[in-house]
Structure 1
Amino acid sequence: MSYSARDSQPITPPPTFSAPPTSHKFGDPVVLSLTMGFIILFIGLSLYDANRVTSMIAVGFTMTAKYMGSFFQMILIATFFIAIGVAISRAGQARIGNLNKPEISTFRWLSMVMCTLLAGGGVFFAAGEPIYHFVVTPPAFDFETGTAEAVAPALAQSFMHWGFLAWAVLGSLTAIVLAYAHYTLGKPLQPRTLLYPVFGEWILTSWVGGIVDALCVIAIVAGTVGPIGFLATQMSYGLEVLFGITNGFTTQLVILMLLAAVYIGSAMSGVHKGIQLLSRFNVILALLIGAVIFIFGPTLFLTNTYLQAMGEYMTSFFAMATMTSETAPDWWMKWWTVFFFAWFIGYAPLMAIFVARISRGRTIRQMVIAVAVLAPIATTIWFTLLGGSGIYYQLTGEADLIEALQSFSFDVATLTVAQTLPGGIWMAGAILLLTTIFVATTGDSMSYAIAVVGAGHDHPHFSIRAFWGAAMAVMAGMLLYMGSGQIGVLQQFIVLSAIPVSVIILPSLWAGPQSAMAMAREQKLL
């Protein structure tokens, strides 16, 4: 059953903002100055001496992975188990946003959750990562690469990186804290509000709060510009292989402009229009592609592989989740587990803003189960369909992906798998389209979330959403002009940005349960 915003009635009167949103059109000038300063500085330094920028970030990337990796892992593990505990408690019955009915229907809501949080990486890595672990043994396992016994552990390792822990940190405890603070207490819908339980009103009104918001926005810019740029290179490569269109900067720029037009237009139309529409279309297309792969592909192999991989994921869960550089090679931890966990931490505050916004009227239990349980399970199925098929074709000799994956050429691996799937060139084209829309759904939702941070409430002016969407597109275009290597450098930067963001989300480990209980008490559920 679906509801519209008009059907949703407030449980309690709307709060009065104790910290009014800034009067500046583009939000807090500290946030705007620091974020735009970062974009200009990164591009400027890259133009001046790209090698030096690459070297500096590489050193920081390595040190962060070595000294902060275990901290990142502990945050993700603790977030997942505490969030599940809150969901199954009586406090899980409390409704978010003081509405007694959801604003958005279940299918539309789940579509936005899946598309925004899974993003382009859900296609880009779904095909290549499981096959990589199939041909290069992960440190938590001991099997001969490229054999039948390597299949389940390879997928299980991918499930660890994109499963329960990753999803939980993106939109469970942090979303609960922000939802309670904003919709019940009237605090601004900004990352700084995550620190309100510790510092009180001071963090909401001081310049330090602006720095907190800026750090989170910079992390999301780094994490979103990367997929936007990679999508342009992947699409350009795919168009050359499939249709003979020249793979160069001009083609990449045209793709980038079209992509930006789509996600900026979607962001400007808002949560109830473009963002919903794009997400629904993407989910339907993914379901169709998945059905074709399952029905016409290696059905029995995929079914058996999924069951075995999920069993391996469960039994080896803690061995994989707690692997450190003491028991695994530094390079492996840096480029896999720590990289992904830091990436998700960097996204967490603004993803939480978006999840809290679209979950108004839902119970805490519904939100946590959807984000931290159902979405990861759907992700593991998707990874099995694409990655499992790739492993099958590698085993049978229908495709040879070893060279591409050992050199981390995931665009080559993804397209090779796509062309080998049922439908051939048509399936490859469909997967390229799906990847494009996945990236667009991240672009529109993050443009919206950044605009929310500036406004301090969930109805930012459409021009602000367009501004941030355009800013990320321009940054991606400039980096593509310098070469796709600078996009990769920016991706590494998000690991560095995860350091301050991890501190910002840390209080949610205890503030999340407290906020849930406070909501439940106010709604007379406790």
Structure 2
Amino acid sequence: MAENVAERGSEERIGMNAGLGDPWVLGISGGFVIAFLALSAYDVNLLSELVSGGFTWTAKYLGSFFQAILLLTFFIAIGVAISPAASAKMGNLDQPEMSTFKWVSIILCTLLAGGGVFFAAGEPVYHFVAQSPPAFGAETGTAAAVQAALAQSFTHWGFLAWAILGSLTSLVLVHAHYTHGKPLQPRTLLFPVFGERVMRGAFGGIVDAVCVIAVVAGTVGPIGFLATQVAYGMEVLFGIEDSYGSQLAVLVVLGGIYVTSALTGIHRGIQFLSRMNVFLALFIAAVIFVFGPTLFLLNSYLQGFGTYVSSFLETSTMTAQTAPDWWMKWWTVFFFAWFLGYGPLMALFVARISRGRTIREMIVAVAIAAPVATTVWFTLLGGSGIYYQMQGVIDLKEALTNFQFDVATLTVAQALPLGLVMAVLILILTTIFVATTGDSMSYTISMVASGHDQPARSVRAFWGITMAVMAAILLYMGAGQVSALQQFIVITAIPVSLVLLPSLYLGPKAAYDMAREQRIVS
């Protein structure tokens, strides 16, 4: 307990003048931000063509590679979780730094933000009404399409997606950092392979910078899209004009929330924001389940989850040979590459907050419990949307065919019991969801840049503000630029996947090294 209090105190005493860290990380990642904005301003069409070309090539030729990494990570992590080594404590602490509820809340809110905001309502309804998943062959709009739509959504946001965000990689980082004193940076994942060569100089800086760029690309997208979603919601609900001015106002409020949260640290702002979000999500979930189409939701979840489990390998390994190219590009490969891009920095964050937890607790929380919670959330929002679509209460076919997922979320919310109240609460919830990703990623990018697991407040503020400003500039140029940036994360998944690859072996090795050090195994 004394150690925890000391750490919380030191988190506030870290100097304001610690600098922005490794010049390679700042130079490359900052250069990317400037170059992307400059090219957007110079020739939007050229930027879109370059990103789209790289996106298409990556999805076509490396999609199966990405799928294999996610599958292997999940199965190997489960193997570690049931092994004798799983009883080892992480981070050289006998007791966890925070309660289980607070810990799980931070994990859920940090990693679920993109799905919770943009796809939980829209994706299942899209698969039901616009395009039935190729793996199931169900006709759109039919009873069979319900379970197919949910099962496909679970495939994208389920076990594989979560496992890559903090299971084997977190084990490597925890052992290297807390046992061998290596910094919490992506380069540390490669230390067992390349030794000290990767820990200093250009090599390590490039590794860290690529991982930072992937997270910036993946986080600025949700920040920008949230501004459009909330601005649209304010116009529909309250008659406030949806304009760039209203979008900018949303960004200012959102940035203020997550930057303040990042400045106050993990044990205060980040933890508080995550807990508040979980309580609100539980309240909304209870209202939907009790007062909404309860029996339909319950039956749909059981059938959808059963279909997901029974077709797990088939849907997870589907390629362009068995599904249309556009499907793989815009759905399965896009999501899997997105999660890969987030992998190293999310693993850093999970490692940072999981001291004192057993290996088994961490893997079960990240790779099993959190995905199950995600499937429930997708069923409550998406399943309700499917029900109201079938009853003729709403009609989202045209909007979702044009990929207008912001429209889907608000439309489903308004159709729920206490429609106006639920719509407002869901808008608040989505805002906090994105804020929890913004604060945790601002904190984690700062850890990478500074090489310190309690980075200076000035560094946290710099990266948090940078992402908000980047979203504002791209929205000013047009929402298409935000989409292009989000697609760019698929391209960054190429080098990031190589950073993650050694963890397939090093993760179990780190687990057994910790177990031997603690005399749990011989």
TM-score (normalised: structure 1): 0.96
The 1-side partners of 2:418 and 2:2 are apart by 39
Name the counterpart of 1:322.
317
Give 1:100's match in structure 2, choosing from 94, 100, 113: 94
Following superposition, the deviation at residue 457 of structure 1 comes to 2.2
- Per the alignment, residue 486 of structure 2 pairs with 491
How much does 1:456 deviate?
Answer: 1.4
| Alignment match, 2:212 | 217
Residue correspondence of structure 1 range 383-398 to structure 2 within 5 A: 383-398=378-393
Distance 2:333 2:373 in 1: 23
Deviations 1:223-269 (A, max 9, x none): 00000000000000000000000101000001001100000000000
Aligned-residue offset at 1:67: 0.4
Matched, 1:265 2:256: no
Aligned counterpart, 2:162: 167
2:344 matched to which residue of 1? Answer: 349
Report the CA distance between 1:205 and its aligned residue: 1.5
**Are positions 1:293 and 2:280 aligned together?**
no
Could you tell me how far 1:82 is from its partner in structure 2? 0.3
In the alignment, is the contact (CA less than 8 A) between 1:164 and 1:372 conserved in 2?
Answer: yes
1:240 maps to amino acid: E
Corresponding position: 1:478 with 2:473: yes
| Partner deviation per Cα, 1:265-299 (whole Å, 9 max, x = no partner) | 00000000000000000000000000000000000
Among 81, 84, 95, which residue is 1:90 paired with? Answer: 84
Deviation string for 1:127-148 (max 9, x for gaps)? 0000111121111011111011
Aligned to 2:408: 413
Q: Which residue of 2 aligns with 1:43?
A: 37
Percent of residue pairs identical: 67
Identify the residue that residue 302 of structure 1 maps to in structure 2: 297
Unaligned runs of 5+ in 1: 10-22
Distance, in Å, in 1 between the alignment partners of 2:2 and 2:465 is: 30
Name the SS of the counterpart of 1:97 in structure 2. coil
SS in 1 for 2:91: helix
Match for residue 517 of structure 2? 522
Q: How does 1:61-76 map to 2 (within 5 A)?
A: 61-76=55-70
Q: Does 1:33 align with 2:32?
A: no
Q: In 2, are the aligned partners of 1:215 and 1:497 still within 8 Å (CA)?
A: yes
Q: Say whether the 8 Å CA contact 1:415–1:428 is kept in structure 2.
A: yes
Matched residues in 1 for 2:229 and 2:151: separation?
Answer: 26
Structure 2 Cα separation of the partners of residues 277 and 328 of structure 1: 43
**Residue aligning to 1:231:** 226
What letter corresponds to residue 453 of structure 2 in structure 1?
D
Count the aligned residue pairs: 511
1:384-421 CA-to-partner distances (Å, cap 9, x unmatched) read: 00000000001111111111111101011111101001
Cα distance change, pair 408–197 in 1 and its aligned pair in 2 (3 A): same
Distance 1:120 1:220 in 2: 12
CA contact (8 A) 1:8 1:103 kept: no
Q: CA RMSD in A?
A: 1.3
Closer, same or farther: CA 28–6 of 1 in aligned 2, 3 Å? closer
Cross-structure match for 2:371:
376
CA separation in 2, counterparts of 1:123 and 1:516? 34
Q: Which residue of 2 aligns with 1:139?
A: 134
Alignment of 1:183-262 (within 5 A): 183-262=178-257
**CA distance in structure 1 between the partners assigned to 2:238 and 2:410 by the alignment:** 13
Would you say 1:513 and 2:503 are equivalent positions?
no
* Equivalent-residue separation in structure 1 for 2:145 and 2:2 (angstroms): 48
Q: Which residue of 2 aligns with 1:435?
A: 430
**Which AA in structure 1 matches 2:137?**
D
**Displaced runs of 4+ in structure 1, greater than 4 A?**
none
Quote the residue 1:117 is aligned against: 111
* Distance in 2 (alpha carbons) for counterparts of 1:40 and 1:195: 28
1:6 CA displacement: 3.8
Match of 1:18 in 2: none
Do 1:27 and 1:454's aligned partners in 2 also have CA atoms closer than 8 Å? Answer: yes
- Which consecutive unaligned segments of at least 5 residues does structure 2 have? 8-16
Question: SS of 2:120's equivalent?
Answer: helix
Instruction: String of CA shifts for 1:193-224, please: whole Å, max 9, x gaps.
Output: 00111101111023110000000000000000
Match of 2:12 in 1: none
Aligned residue in 2 for 1:151: 146
Distance in structure 2 (CA, Å) of the matches to 1:5 and 1:116:
25
